[in-house]
A = this chain, B = another copy of it.
Amino acid sequence: MTKDPQAPPPYVALHALWDAAQDAFFAEFRDELEQTEYSDVRPTHGCVFRFVREDGMRLTRLAELAKITKQSAGEVIDDLVKRGYVERIPDPEDRRAKLICLTEKGREAQATGLAILLEIEARWIERYGAERWAAMRDLLEEIVAAEAPDAVPELASPELAGLAKVA
């Protein structure tokens, strides 16, 4: 593969860059998660750990946030119930509904997962520079706010965000 000195500069499609970066990040996450006692948490289960907070969440709402069907959400939840990470608690406000709640084990797994994410990001920040990193994050947040405003109520709860200081 000799290069043509006249060739235009190579162009890497944006989505390819994001893809690759995300893949690398996620692979690191999975690697570290495998080392924990929560290694049976599969990538598919992520939607639950990402969105469910202390006060629980209805299946329908979870499906909306995760952009999957109620049926798919139901299956993921069934699986997590079997593994002891979540439970369905009758919603006091609507007898049709159930609140998907993390069990104690589930909350531990969620905290562990978040801690890993924070660690990895901390490493990368160190590696690539805090300022550039902050600039990228700002831009990303702006993009997401503008292009997919309803996509990320994925804010860590205050207690969980507290872990950021530890990392």
Which residues 125-162 of A have a CB within 8 angstroms of B? Answer: 127-128, 132-133, 135-137, 139-144, 146-148, 151-152, 154-156, 158, 160-162
Contact pattern, A 5-44, Cβ under 8 Å of B = 1, otherwise 0: 0011111111111111111111011000000000000000
Q: Any chain B CB within 8 A of the CB of A68?
A: no
Contact of A13 (CB < 8 Å), options: B15, B17, B127, B156:
B156
Q: CB distance A11 to B152 under 8 Å?
A: no
A162 to B128, CA, bound (A): 31
Q: CB distance A152 to B117 under 8 Å?
A: no
Expressed in whole angstroms, the minimum distance between the Cβ of A123 and any Cβ of chain B is 11
Expressed in whole angstroms, the minimum distance between the Cβ of A109 and any Cβ of chain B is 15
**17 sample A-B contacts, Cβ–Cβ < 8 Å, listed by A number:** A7-B161, A8-B161, A8-B162, A12-B141, A13-B50, A16-B50, A17-B137, A17-B152, A18-B21, A19-B151, A20-B147, A20-B151, A24-B147, A128-B143, A132-B139, A133-B139, A136-B140
A21 touching B143 in the complex, CB below 8 Å, given contacts A11-B164, A13-B117: yes
Expressed in whole angstroms, the minimum distance between the Cβ of A112 and any Cβ of chain B is 14
Most chain B CB neighbours (cut-off 10 Å) among A12, A28, A135, A146: A12
Contact of A139 (CB < 8 Å), options: B8, B26, B136, B142:
B136
Q: CB distance B135 to A12 under 8 Å?
A: no
Residues of B within 8 A of A148 (CB): 20-21, 23-24
Q: Any chain B CB within 8 A of the CB of A48?
A: no
